[in-house]
Structures are given as C-alpha cells and as structure tokens.
Amino acid sequence: MNLFFELEIVYIVIGIFFLAVTAFVTTRDFMPKVAFKRGMIGVFTLFAIMISLHYLVTTKRMAGVKQIFNEGGTIICENKMHRTISRSILVSKKLGWRLEGDHFASDNVARVFHTSRCVDYAPIAPELAKEAAEHQQ
C-alpha cells in the first residue's frame, strides 16, 4: 500500500481537486438537481480507473526494469536534477550500480533513482550502423 501512495499520491490529489471543482459547479442554482450525484460519480469513476491503470502499468514496468537489471542488462533512468541536453543516465551492474528496494544507487552518483522512472535501454546506433552496412552491399 505504501508503494501505491508513493507512486499515485500526486494523481490522487489532482483527483480530489477535480472532485471539489465538480462539487462546486454542480451545486450551483442553474444546474439540475441530479447533476451533483452524476458528476461526482462520473468524475470519481474516471479518476479511479485512470489511477488504477497507471499504477498497474507502472508496477509492471518497474518489475521488468528490476528483472533486466538483475540479469545484467542496462537500463536508462531520467535525471531531472541536471538541466542538460541529455537528462538521462545509464544504469547497470557493470557501471557500479546496485538495487536497493525500488531505488538504484551508486557510490559514484550522489542521488538514487526510483525504478518507476527507468526503462529498458536499447541503443539505436548499432542497428543503424548495421543497416547502413547492409545498404552499401
């Protein structure tokens, strides 16, 4: 349950804000009497489905990233701390990274990266070089 709140608290707060706006708008004099009930049920249902789907997709991706890392593969994580052109960082056991719960840590980097902000790393350059060599033949 802690992981759910860690990943989804922002979206829950946004949903509560939209529920408050819906409650305010649907209780105005110009709105039909059933608008409050229908609006609240509709907005709540929409946000509940969206947050649940986001959680399921995110946890599935996290499990995949952990598996790839544990098998010795390379993954890529976003790094919002450094405002440079390339804001991503490569993570693998070969580069000195370790998995601590849901976070990747390294003695060479000051911060940790959450597995929810990482994806499988598939370099494009080798494939492009292979395709160029095939076209030349």
Where on the phi/psi map is residue 131: left (φ > 0), alpha (ψ -120 to 50), or beta? alpha
Tokens in use for 75?
């993954």
Q: Which H or E run contains 78?
A: strand 75-78
Q: With both helix axes pointing from N to C terminus, report the angle between 2-26 and 35-70 in degrees, rounded to the nearest 10.
A: 160
pLDDT digits (tens, 9 = 90+) for 55-91: 999 999 999 999 999 998 999 988 776 666 567 888 9
What pLDDT is attached to residue 109? 82
Tokens in use for 17?
């804000």
- For the chain, what percent of residues have pLDDT higher than 90? 52
What span, in angstroms and rounded, lies between the C-alpha atoms of 67 and 127? 24
Tokens in use for 23?
């409650």
